[in-house]
Amino acid sequence: ITQDPIISVSGGSQKVKAYASFGYLKQKGTQLGQDYTRYSSKFNIEINPTKWFTMGTSITTTCGLRNYGYATANATGPSSLYAAANGMLPYAIPYDTITGKRINLPGGDINIQNPIGEDKYNINLRKTLRAIGAFHIEFMPIDGLRYRLTFGPDYNNYYNGRYMDSMSINR
């Protein structure tokens, strides 16, 4: 399921042109506990105060939050929540019928753990912040000669974090 609304506005005159947009993207993952959210914006402006001088800027920013959800803590375990559920013993009872609490080793086999509810106990989050800019000034001292100076920074910031609740089988 994806939501992706974008709102934009633009306008200008002979001397000034401007554009701005803002977007929001929300996706649910293919597995419980997975999701992706992105916020984006763009801003452009160009100013022509005289025939021989122009300046402008374009700035694009995005902020993304991707939750990969459940992942095993060791290299030999199941790689996804569905793989872990598929590996459960068919006769195993995942919850204690009296207390209602989850049984972590429902079949008595120490290699087969109960993945039910792990989507609530695991967060595997990657945050991404990116800003791209372009700034320019342009001179046209005589017809046929144009001089343009451009500066284009690109800023990236990544954060990876993983949280496992004390109730997780991965702790």
- The whole-number pLDDT of residue 54 equals 96
Question: Stretch 30-43: mean pLDDT, rounded?
Answer: 93
Q: Any bridge partners for residue 24, and if so which?
A: 39
pLDDT at position 141 over 80? yes
Q: What one-character-per-residue DSSP string does the chain give?
A: -EE--EEEEEEE-SSEEEEEEEEEEEEE-SSTT-EEEEEEEEEEEEEEEETTEEEEEEEEEEEEEEE-----SSTTS-SSHHHHHHTS-TT--SB-TTT-PBPSSTTS-TT----TTHHHHEEEEEEEEEEEEEEEEEEEEETTEEEEEEE--EEEEEEEEEEE-TTSTT-
pLDDT at position 45 is 98
Is residue 139 pLDDT above 80, yes or no? yes
Q: What is the pLDDT of residues 113-138, one digit of tens each?
A: 888 888 888 888 999 999 999 999 99
Mean pLDDT lowest for which of 28-32, 38-42, 65-69? 28-32
Cβ atoms of 150 and 135 within 8 Å: the answer is: yes
Query: pLDDT band at residue 76, thresholds of 50, 70 and 90?
Result: low
Q: Which of 116, 131, 130 is nearest to 168 (CA)?
A: 116
Q: Please, which pLDDT band fits residue 92 given cuts at 50, 70 and 90?
A: confident
Average pLDDT over residues 144-151: 94
